[in-house]
Amino acid sequence: MGGRASTHSIEVRFDVVVKRYRSTDHGQPEREWRALELLNQYAPGLAPAPVTADLAADPPTVVMSRLGGSAVHGPIRGHLADAMAEAVTRVQQAVPLRVLERLPARAGHPVELLQQVRAWSATAPSDGDPAVAVAVSAALREAANWVEQPRLADLLARPGTPVFGTGDGNLANYLWDGADVRVIDFEYSGRSDRAFEVAEVIEHISVWRNDLSGMTAVLERLEMTADEAGRLTECRRLLALFWLLRTRGETQADQANRMLALL
């Protein structure tokens, strides 16, 4: 989800990056190493190449190649939007279905997230700023009606189009070198579904903090079936509500408007 506190430390060397894990509650080191190996096999160049790993160390450690470029920032349109759409699609479709079926599910299933935001919604605090409180209260009222629908859990429990999921839509995980976008950070990766993974990228709070138009241009470049598009709408609402409940201040007011727009 990308809303977690830092679960690792990073050491950047001349040619490699050393990642040491503070948290292993979701099997983060194993998930990351597995992802690097799979992507190196089926989509070489898209992600760091695996170098070495000591998963039994204290702390567990993964060493990977160092990629060029810098985190995507600023308006995402034109060639950058093309490259982002290609990277998002490529990472999701890289792992063959016969291999994907044997992978553990990514950390954080849509139904688990629904249960979480339902609990948070019931006790959501009001912001001290009156201007923010008005916008947030309106969004939370509308969202409460939506999120408690019994059909929602059934819809999210149904399997969507299977893909390899990164498990984190943070914009900082996409590196742009002026020609291509590459992807990093696979701590929560695993088997997922396309609509949920696309929603996590499109609705991540880092995307909307970066640019008020978000990734609209990227979404326009992603071809989706009717079933995927319908599921995407509900997944986007779910992710938008997650971030509404996690933010405060002016950012929360902006997120409230995002929530209302999606509803």
Three-state SS sequence of 144-161: HHHHCCHHHHHHHHCCCC
**CA separation for the pair 140, 124 (Å, rounded):** 8
Amino acid at 111: V
Strands of the 61-65 sheet, one edge to the other: 8-12, 16-21, 61-65, 50-54
Does residue 228 lie within any of the structural domains? Answer: yes
Higher pLDDT, 124 or 52: 52
Q: Are 175 and 67 in contact (CB under 8 A)?
A: yes
CA dihedral 21, 22, 26, 27 (to 10 degrees): 40
Does residue 117 lie within any of the structural domains? Answer: yes
Does residue 52 lie within any of the structural domains? Answer: no
Does residue 10 lie within any of the structural domains? Answer: no
Assess whether pLDDT exceeds 90 at residue 111: yes
Average pLDDT, the chain: 93
> Nearest 5°: phi and psi at 201?
-70, -50
**CA separation for the pair 193, 128 (Å, rounded):** 38
Does residue 56 lie within any of the structural domains? Answer: no
CATH number at residue 252: 3.90.1200.10
The pLDDT value given to residue 1 = 58
Percent of the chain with pLDDT over 90: 84
Q: Are 46 and 83 in contact (CB under 8 A)?
A: no
Look at the chain and count its residues. Answer: 263
- Relative to beta strand 16-21, strand 8-12 is antiparallel
Strand segments (E) across the chain = 8-12, 16-21, 50-54, 61-65, 70-71, 162-165, 174-176, 181-183, 190-193
Cα 148 to Cα 121, 145, 203: the distances in Å are: 10, 6, 20
- For residue 164, the cross-strand partners are 191
Higher pLDDT, 121 or 208: 208
Does residue 208 lie within any of the structural domains? Answer: yes
Range of the domain at 150: 68-262
The pLDDT value given to residue 7 = 80
Total domains in the chain come to 1
Q: Which of 87-96, 122-131, 174-183, 244-253 has the lowest mean pLDDT?
A: 122-131
Q: What is the pTM of this model?
A: 0.93
The pLDDT value given to residue 251 = 85
The pLDDT value given to residue 136 = 87
**CA separation for the pair 245, 260 (Å, rounded):** 14
Q: Are 214 and 108 in contact (CB under 8 A)?
A: no
Paired tokens of 105: 């599910």
Does residue 23 lie within any of the structural domains? Answer: no
